[in-house]
Amino acid sequence: MTKLRIIAGFVAAIVITASSGAHSVLGWPVMRGRLAETNAPADLVLGLGIGWVFGGVCMLAFGATALWMLSRVAKGEAHSLAPLRIIAVIYVAFGAGAMAVSGGNPFYAVFIVPGLLLAYASFGSNTPLPRR
C-alpha cells in the first residue's frame, strides 16, 4: 500500500470517526426536536433514538477499525484489507442509496466521499510498506 493510499485511508477513517460523534451528539437532538413537532408517540421517538444512537456507535466502530488497521499497515505489517473494503462498500452504497431516495440530496455525500477514499486506500495493493 502506498503512502498516498494510507493517507487517504486515514482521512476517511478520521472523518468516519468524527462524524459518529456528530451523528449522535448533534444529529439526534435536532431529529428529536423535529419529531416533537409532529406529536410522534413517545415509544416511537424512543425506538428511533435508540436506533439513531446505535448507528453512531456503528460509525465509531467502523472508524476505529479503519484507524487501527491502517496504523498496522503504515507500520509495515501485512494485513487483510477486507474489513476496510467492506466498510468502503457499505459507505458508498448507503450514501448513493440515500441520495437516490432523497431526490439527490447532496448531504449524503458525507457517506460517499469517505467511502470512496477508503475504497481508494483499500482496493490497491496490500503489499506492506517497507519497515524502516
**Spatial separation of the C-alpha atoms in residues 32 and 7, rounded to whole Å:** 36
**What is the structure's pLDDT at 46?**
97
SS3 9: helix
Cα end-to-end distance, the chain, whole Å: 15
What are the sequence ranges of the domains in the chain? 3-122
Per-residue cell: 47: 425506538
Does this model's pTM top 0.95? My answer is no
Question: What are φ and ψ of residue 38, in 5° steps?
Answer: -95, 0
Q: Would you tell me the crossing angle of helices 82-101 and 109-122 to the nearest 10 degrees?
A: 150
Give the chain's largest Cα–Cα span: 61
**Spatial separation of the C-alpha atoms in residues 20 and 69, rounded to whole Å:** 18
Rounded CA Rg of the chain: 17
- The pLDDT averaged over each successive group of 10 residues in the chain (132 residues) is 94 98 94 94 96 97 98 90 97 98 97 98 72 57
